[in-house]
Structure 1
Amino acid sequence: MAKKSPNVWQKFWKRITDLWGQFLGTIDGLIGNKFVDFLNKTVPAPLRFLIPFLKDDLGIAPPSITSFRGIGIPEKDETKEILKEISVDQRVGTIWQIKPQFLRYQCQESNPFRCEFPHETVIDDPNNKYCKKCQFPASLPPEVKVRGRGGVYQVDNYIGIRGSGRLYNATNLTDGEPFLLKEYVIPKKYFNDQETRACKRNFEASSELKLSDGRKQDSRLITPIEAIADVREERCYAILPKTDEALTLSDYLDMNGAMSNWQVKSFLNQALQTLESLHSQKYRLRSGVVTSGLPHGNLTFYSIAIRSNFQGFTVYLNDMALWEDRFYPPDVQTPAYSINRDLEDLGYIAFYLLKGGVIDLENRSCLNPYDPDHWGSRVHLGLKKFVQNLLGFGETTYSSAEVARRALLRLHIERDALLEFIDQEEVEPVKKNWWGWLTKKVIAIAIGIILLLLLAFLLYFWLTQPQKAANLNFPCCINQISDIPEGKFTYISDKNGTWNYTLLQNNLIAKGSTLEDELQKRQPKLQLSYQPVNVDRNADQSPISQLLSNQADFAISSVTDNLGGNFITQNIAYDGLTVFVAFSYAQRNNSLPTSLEGRLTFAQLRQLYTGEIINWRQLGGPDLPVKLYMPLDDESVKIFEKRVLKDETAIAAFRQLSKDGNNGITSLSIFDSLRQVIQDFEDRNIGSISFGSISQVFGQCSVYPLAIADDYRSFVAPLVWTNGAPITPNADLCNEKGSYSQNYNAFINLNYPLAYPISVVYTRDNRRLPIAERFVSIMRTEEAQHLLKQTGLIPLKSPIK
């Protein structure tokens, strides 16, 4: 009996899926995995869940990796039992990384790095530093902090062993970015003090690899972002970028089995491309030495990572011997590394990828690429010859990775089908139907346009989302902060700056009390001596310069740009400059806030503070001469110069006017300028203008803080009503106190053009006591943030519990 013909919708769906597969194949042929990488990087994180659904709905999956029964891969229990019975070539064993290490420790695994007891010891008690059975250095417990040049890294959790080191998830506490931390140990049973120092010095000097010409190249070679030698422990650390969803080659084989011929070709192509870059280019080490012709030297099932995607996979090379082998015991002879050895190791790995493992469990023997019977019939003949050439016993040899890759690309191997459909038998003649206009070309173009429109929509949605307010969780109270170092410590700040006023001004928090008194009362263990610094703009005298000369333990500053890698900064609050003019009721018709509509642009401020505008009529205001004031606070002046004046010509004119005194710009304290601005307007018929920190101006209703706008951007008001609406010149700031406040969200998100953080600054030095970190922890409690808010500063989040 003839089978029933498929209906219209079945044919229509089959044609769409066929063309979708052809479209993917075309994209893959043109740009390969870069298209998928581009989507992964471009699509916002909250919407990436759509990609798996898209794959599932259309039946798209990674090329299937057929399982290969009866094959064992390294480190599996059944494989280990057979390894006790058979002999393994030393070269192959190196690729598996089954060589015992540190035999002087009585470890039941003959290798403390392959043993779980050092980690279980830490789980039992985080304070344990050595294995409870063999005394080998234990793993790192969670929340341990490691200080480097790029910040402070906190260990989140233990991952496992890779190569000759332990791997952990870690977070940079400065910006919250996730990294991998690899820990290497220098056991005292193998290294004396001199050898330990030499090992640490060599590790730091050679573990950071960059192109000598400064270019950044994505060659899929994973190198340490930072190499750190612990001055107090027998350990070193490598900070590595985190490659999401990447598995070691061993784990990948365990999950998926043997690779197909096309997949092995793709793997070899990517690995050779990375080796070609490594072997042929010049690199600069952290020590400054420039070298070329570097071999990888450590190609194993564990140093190669692979990340699947629905177009195939991406291959990464980790753990170069240049730094990985620094931690072999002095009495262990490391192999001689070379470019040829890299190619041979890659040949071994390709052979075992084709077989799906390294041990034939059924015959209880080690698979050997030199044995013709071990290759099998499913291996592509051209690929087999290529791998044999890599191993050095084929018809030819390759002098470099570049030559080998060119030979590989000449091999023609069909790719595994992404989609498979069974054609149904049709017994009826084909009739021309209404969907006949749906040609392959039309559908391919339509799908391409839809994808581009979807991507454009996602980009627009992502980029137009308003910035979210800070979402921070702080501990409750100051007295909950423990581990405060004992002793007396000194910190500094600008004598005329915001912090000096915030800390020492009476009655801001309670009658007759200062913030300094409140902190001391709530945390008596905190023995801090505050020393204000007289800043000389014409000399190198600033809080930061005194930190470099070790005259203080830390500083508090609002100018933290371009400090360099020797300093760490952590925010404890926000502040900002506000530009203000007189606010008069008696002469409301000549009021500057009304005529200026309560706002000024940066361009207008530049014209005012460089002497271009000398009468408010030039800005559409009343016929009043302009009088300029500025604060004594050097940090505020620097911020004003950088953000408002910007170019050197305007800054030079501003500084010249500041030297002219009463005929130019007059420097006064904030409170003197508040009083002088209103007196100039009411008694002398002069339109004065000044600027200063919002924490000191807020609540002084004799002046009006103007809304300001950076060039070509919208205006932002420093004060808002309790419902979030900006204040206007019609507001009665004196009689309506309590109905308005600082624009917290604008300052916290730094949307206000002159907002800036108040930061604790300290030097990056592992030898000093962590008093600065503890002070930051205290100031980041809900209690301390509330105190800072009472002084007029903007807390790190709003509202505060």
Structure 2
Amino acid sequence: MVKAPRRDLVRELVKREQEQVTSRISFWRSQAFYQVYRLVPARFQWLLPGLQEWAQDLFRRQEAEEQEQAAAALSAVEAAGAIVPPADLRVPLIPEMTLIQGNRGRYQVQEFVGMRGQGRLYRGVQVNSRQVITLREYVLPTEQFPTQEIRYRQQLFSQTGGVTLADSRRQNLRLVEPWEAISDQREARCYLVSQGDLDRGMTLAQRLQQGAFSPAQVRQVLHQVLQTLEALHTQKFRLPGGQIRSGLAHGQLGLEHLLWVPVKSGGTPAELRFLVYVTDLGLWEFLFIPSGTERPISHPRRDLVALGYAGLQLLHGAASLHTYLDPKEERHWPVGVPSGLKEVILRLLELGSPFADAAEARRVVGQVHLGNPGEGRAALTADPEAPLPPFRWWRWWPLPLLLLVVGVAWWGWLRLFPAQRSLFTTPNREPLLCCMAEVANVPKGQFKYSGERGGTWAYVLQQVNLVQIGQSLTAEIQRLFPRLDLTFIPADSNQAALNALNQGQVDFAVTPLVDQTTTEGLGRDVAWAVENVAYDGLAVVVVFSYAQRRDSLPRYLNGQITLAQLRQLYTGQITNWQSLGGPNLPVRLYIPTDTEAVALFEQRVLQDEGSIRSFRRLVSLIPISRRAQQVVTITPLTSQELLRQIIQDFEREQVGGIGFSTFSRVFGQCAGYPLAISEPGQPAVQALIQDNGRPIDPTTNLCDKKGGYRLKPATFASGRYPLAYPLSVVYARDNSRPPVGAWFTELLRTTEAQRLLQKAGLVPLQELDVLNPVNLPSP
């Protein structure tokens, strides 16, 4: 009577461990193939499809067994919707004002609020701190559980009721993590305590009563839940009893165990302002299923199957909660579902090409196009009746030889032609996360980061009305993540900021990535990550004058200038615009007081030490003497003063002024005309393009067409504009350091943050569609 339940539970735990090992092997197999694909040169990648076909043939029998398991999971979904019946309602509720003693405090039950899954929910407070808590009660009725088995399950509950990351990091996985698990020694009850009222939130099943979800909402639900499942399936967790578990499966994922939390997020449509939290892991919920009842099998792949069915339910509405939907029947799909979304749901249900894991599924969901129904990729369906091809071992003997040849060829290629790391990347068309509030794994605590004082990033932080009137980007981050204390420590230069990062004085740095030497001073014993978050560039401006004006500099220069001509101007070799084919106007030179921009100009334009020395000798800290026009000097001014001065020089003294500054500080003005820039042997590239897609030219009236031109991300991201450069977050890829740099990068890459950076004058990573707030890719 006593040992049988114990043997059953031990056998179940062993079975779960075996399933986790199988899942991890499948995950690493997929990752290994992906890494091999990245290492193979483009000229040899044509061999990979054949290798992949051989691999699929090799593992075909194993996948057939896994598909049988998935079919059983789908049958379970069909039979019971993956929701276990609630606990026995005949057990009386906990009386109000009851005190419950735990190891981490005393809790007072205030009122019963409802049921979910195996537990009953109560609102309460922690007695000492008066902090609001949610108490989840599980009962073990004596009619269903023998007395000794009750004690054993209570003991097991105390050891497994709750999870935290094994390395003690505090990250927002959008997983409701219990605060404490308590076993009542006087009654057949167990309690799970969570802080706050999140665990009492509305489930997706309840939210569905208000109407079906739109395809965009379903895509967002799938993306967020897959983020949580990816972490749940792959990371190491510590249980309350001290055990370490590598990867966990939810076990009973469904609409009843997904919480819908509305959020406020500027610039996001109302229908997408929500987060989805995962709760009620089967790890402890299954302890309250009687021994005679078949319990679901926890497996990562079954989580994906259950999530796929939940996505289909969301598309249907409340009626799907009481009617089984057969995804293989076309009539069970709502009209107008985008084909890309339909394909993803079918693949989650393993009715098409199954996903290797939650990470792959999340990446594919991020690429779903929600255009017109019927467009996009067709669903990949499998014929369940098709016989498996026989295993042909002799087809495999060339594989080791081929891998050896590819490896030797790749090694030789790297030796002969070492790869040069590019500052720029091809414009990333992978869709961005919608909102800053969606970014998971939020680090908690105090962190510091650095950048140049008065530089580009410092300028962004100074925009006090960036989010809304009176609210800066820093204030918005503090509002969204109150437990994160992020402090910007300005440095005298970008190199000083990187030195502070190298010495561990700050956690990451935000800096322009000018050339390959930018990060060479960092320690070589640490792997450093350099992640682009936006782009900027130097704008070289001359006085803007209408086309009908005489001596118009943009018209004479044909709207462009070469790097060599800029070098001659700023080293004093050219003092009159006639030398460049312009009008008979003396040259007057200006530079910004922004030392970051000047350093960029020296490296990109002047380049050699001799030119830089000549340039610095001409820099004067006092204005040019208006009587000594023959003396060439360079005057530092703020960006706005620079623009005003070149107009005054032209209007009052007939002097042709020229200056430069970052686009982030001069974009949207019409005092100066930004010249197109050309490198040796290359055509000139204009950074500003009009709404019709054509670059501006000297006949374009910038004052009349404000808002009719913009900076094109592709021009900056590709490096075609010679004076473009990325703004990057630099941090250490070191598990011993807090992952705040990686988190901050992901935050700035959300669509919401990219819009704010664009508003501040920076160039986003990719085009942001005004009519497409979540920035889905174009077909």
Tell me the TM-score normalised to structure 2 length.
0.45
